[in-house]
Structure 1
Amino acid sequence: MKRSFQSSAGPQPLRKQRDYRLLWSARTISITGSEVSKLAIPLTAVALLTASPAQMGMLTAAASVPVLLFGLQSGAIADRLTRHRPLMIACELTSCAAAATVPLAWLLGILNVTWLIVVALVIGTAGVLFKAANFPHIAAVAGPEQRTEAMAGLQTTYSVASVAGPGLAGLLVQVLTAPLAVLAEALSFLTSALLLRTIRTPERNTPAVSKGMWRDIVEGLKASVTHPVLRALLFAGVTINFFAMAYTAVYMLYMVNTLGIPKGLIGVLIALGGAGGLLGAWLTARLSKKYGENRVLLLSVIFFPAEILTVGLLTGPLWWKLLMLALAGTVAGAIVVAFATCMGAIVLRETSPELRGRVNATMTFAIQGVLALGGLAGGLLAELIGLRPVILICAGGIALSTFWIWLSPIHPKGPRPTRPAPPQMPTTTATYMTAKRHST
């Protein structure tokens, strides 16, 4: 029986929709398992394999390399599919198998750092493909009028994982040792695949006719930079991530050396951001229904620099610093989720169905790819001018993202969003539009 989004009384609440609950549960379990491996795999390399600093650098980089190598191609692949869920399941099973080799190789005495790097590359590549397919798949599970709420719910998975993951990771490493704790990640991928397998919602995606990988990628790039709304979101996201990563590069040094925050409390302050994310998802789903995603996005981007500015200007006794950092971190977590949720919903709404995979992949490639540049810039600049000036520069830099949004059709008082003609498509390809979205 085909699932219907509408009834005579209106759409059923998402929390009561079986398939959405399955999708949400699959993502939450999978991401929480990944949080465990973020501690377990580096600990395995350091404690058991005596990895060198260069090897640790390669291991860390292996997690982000697949985005740069395969990010754009993954979107083109997703847009060619009639059904996205089989690819998502295959990606989770591949990641499960790769993660499971870590404890197995350790028990057999053949585990080494190279093995861990290969595992990280495999899981990272599967993750890139999964995300490319998952974005358009949301349109099948949630109706147009519920996609912002669906995006907000999925954003809570990251908040839940950021709160529960580190504690669970520490417990598992303590009880099982680091290599065996990676089994938790393997099991989380397997559980996710099984939950995705039980989703019943039929997919009716009309695949784009391929013109070749490179031309398909160019179409996604062209759509992302020529559509005024998508272009504004793309450049706002790149601006935010560049300066946010520059801030992250000096954050720990600044907290310990400049503000004198006890090291044991830094983890607690970071966890409050995850808790704030849960609050942000709850508020965004409700505010967007009343005011629309455009207004919520605009409000969130205005307050985006608030936490970093607070950190950069903070002085006083320790209790005052901790209080302000706790408040700022919680609010920042809510703002980040609100922005990401509304950004995802607007991208889904503004992008033609046959381009969703490529547009999402283009944005992911650019927004995630700039992280390395931001981190490098933050560290080098801090060497020249000091930690606090870099923090303040980052706050000002993130504030620049406001102009991308305010000067675009996203602004509620700006010009009406008009969709330029999409890249030339065969007449047999569907080009209809849908509503809403949220992201990350």
Structure 2
Amino acid sequence: MKRSLHTSAAVIPLRRQRDYRLLWGARTVSITGSEVSKLAIPLTAVTLLTASPAEMGLLTAAASVPALVFGLQAGAIADRLTRHRPAMIACEVVSGLAAATIPLAWLLGILNTPWLIAVALVVGTAAVMFKAANFPHLAVVVSPAQRTEAMAGLQASYSVATVAGPGLAGLLVQVLTAPLAVLAEALSFLASALLLRSIRTPDRHEPARSQGMWRDVVEGLRVSGTNPVLRALLGAGVTINFFAMTYVAVHMLYMVNTLGIPKGLIGALIACSGLGGLLGTWITTRVAGRFGENRVLLVSVLFFPLEILVVGLLGGPLWWKVGVLAVTGTLTGAIVVAFSTCMGAITLREATPELRGRVNATMTFAVQGVMALGGLAGGLLAEWLGLRAVILVSAAGIALSSLWIWVSPLRPGRVARHDTPSPERVP
């Protein structure tokens, strides 16, 4: 029965599939709300609570700590569940309620920085669990033949949020004040929960036999490290994120102080990346459908260093620099979506159903955990080598990620075998 449902769904475009529209809408609403809070919560801490630099550092770190502390265990828990959707709904409800305490505490006069940090930890932990359950849940809602298109659509959610979120955040902060603007995030989480609750596709998953939390986690690590395709994706993801964060650590200083880009234009250049992501969504589904996810991955990874290299070498009048940065930012946005979409589709294809939660959690843990190290390395290297040198080193480092992909079974000559989706297991 499961296979026949997938077969029939395969001929229906995703945009006409009610449950996928609900899933996409839930993610878009939730992520856009989170983009609002990225501005509103720090502004609350700085302008209303006069947070110290140390407190701001703790507040910033609180968002990523759950992924490091709880990320691997979340994957093991997801693989034990017989149904993923209730866990996803619960995570959104908990996040919404936690975020709603910020404007409530402010109105009551009891809001402080530790309160903001506690909320960030709760929301971050719920987000880790949500992502662990959402990855295998996608395989239930979408047929194997449409997973790349579905992944691209979900990547588009991030692009929409990147374009709309900052502007919406600025408007809400101006009209409502920063603490009340956080209410938009709370409402977005609750709206997401309602949309997920409306999905009708049967949510059935045959859980993996648990051998204990530690052994379950180790099994996910083992599979991710021994499967040659998953190992290549993991290595490339870690390499890209490490050197991307060395770049992020210094690029704002470089853009303002060295290139002389006005601060008001930096937001517009960031929006170009979001627009590029939307373009990449449209292109990726069509190109991957014709040439396969492997070939798209092989090509897209070669272009990852482009924007960073251009930034490091750029000079000339302001109009030229802004124009070049807008073009390369748009292209990079499209490239990132193409790579991320195909990476997700290949991971879903290579991991067996009972291990999808743990494999995805291992990938997330590694590629997010290395970001802190990359940011620290970028700051320290800038003190020693200078800003431009760090940017060029970052471009060279990201270029190394292509080696992981091109020496793996994804390379030409083996593409045909790995582009064929493996049959779904039927309970």
Cα distance in structure 2, aligned partners of 1:233 and 1:10: 27
Deviation at 1:411? 1.0
More helix by share: 2
| Partner deviation per Cα, 1:57-84 (whole Å, 9 max, x = no partner) | 0000000000000000000000001110
Q: Give the TM-score normalised by structure 2.
A: 0.97
SS in 1 for 2:324: helix
Cα distance in structure 2, aligned partners of 1:357 and 1:170: 36
1:229 is matched with which residue?
Answer: 229
Cα distance in structure 2, aligned partners of 1:263 and 1:413: 48
Q: How many residues align structurally?
A: 422
1:356 is matched with which residue?
Answer: 356
2:120 pairs with 1:153: no
2:70 pairs with 1:32: no
Identity %: 76
Deviation at 1:353? 0.4
Contact 2:295/2:415 (CA < 8 Å) preserved in 1?
no
1:5 is matched with which residue?
Answer: 6
| Partner deviation per Cα, 1:4-54 (whole Å, 9 max, x = no partner) | 3333x9520000000000000000000000000001111111111110000
Contact 1:350/1:433 (CA < 8 Å) preserved in 2?
no
Cα distance in structure 1, aligned partners of 2:307 and 2:49: 39
RMSD (Å), alpha carbons: 1.6
Contact 1:408/1:415 (CA < 8 Å) preserved in 2?
no
Contact 1:248/1:375 (CA < 8 Å) preserved in 2?
yes
After superposition, where does 1:8-407 map in structure 2 within 5 Å?
A: 11-407=11-407
Cα distance in structure 2, aligned partners of 1:407 and 1:414: 11
| Partner deviation per Cα, 1:291-343 (whole Å, 9 max, x = no partner) | 00000011100111111111111111111111110000000000000000000
Contact 1:410/1:417 (CA < 8 Å) preserved in 2?
no
1:438 is matched with which residue?
Answer: none
Contact 2:10/2:146 (CA < 8 Å) preserved in 1?
no
Contact 2:294/2:415 (CA < 8 Å) preserved in 1?
no
Cα distance in structure 2, aligned partners of 1:226 and 1:103: 48
Contact 1:87/1:130 (CA < 8 Å) preserved in 2?
yes
Contact 1:5/1:11 (CA < 8 Å) preserved in 2?
no
Deviation at 1:434? 4.4
| Partner deviation per Cα, 1:170-210 (whole Å, 9 max, x = no partner) | 00001111111110000000000000000000123110010
SS in 2 for 1:5: helix
In structure 2, the gaps of 5 or more residues are none
Amino acid aligned to 1:394: S
Amino acid aligned to 1:6: T
Contact 1:351/1:433 (CA < 8 Å) preserved in 2?
no
Amino acid aligned to 1:109: G
Contact 1:243/1:397 (CA < 8 Å) preserved in 2?
yes
Cα distance in structure 1, aligned partners of 2:317 and 2:12: 51
Cα distance in structure 2, aligned partners of 1:413 and 1:254: 42
Deviation at 1:415? 7.9
| Partner deviation per Cα, 1:81-121 (whole Å, 9 max, x = no partner) | 11100000000000011000001101111100000000000
Q: Give the TM-score normalised by structure 1.
A: 0.94
| Partner deviation per Cα, 1:389-412 (whole Å, 9 max, x = no partner) | 111110000000000000000113
Structure 1 stretch 310-319 or stretch 28-37: which is displaced more?
310-319
SS in 2 for 1:370: helix
Amino acid aligned to 1:168: L
Deviation at 1:416? 7.4
Cα distance in structure 2, aligned partners of 1:6 and 1:433: 12
Amino acid aligned to 1:262: P
In structure 1, the gaps of 5 or more residues are 419-431, 436-440
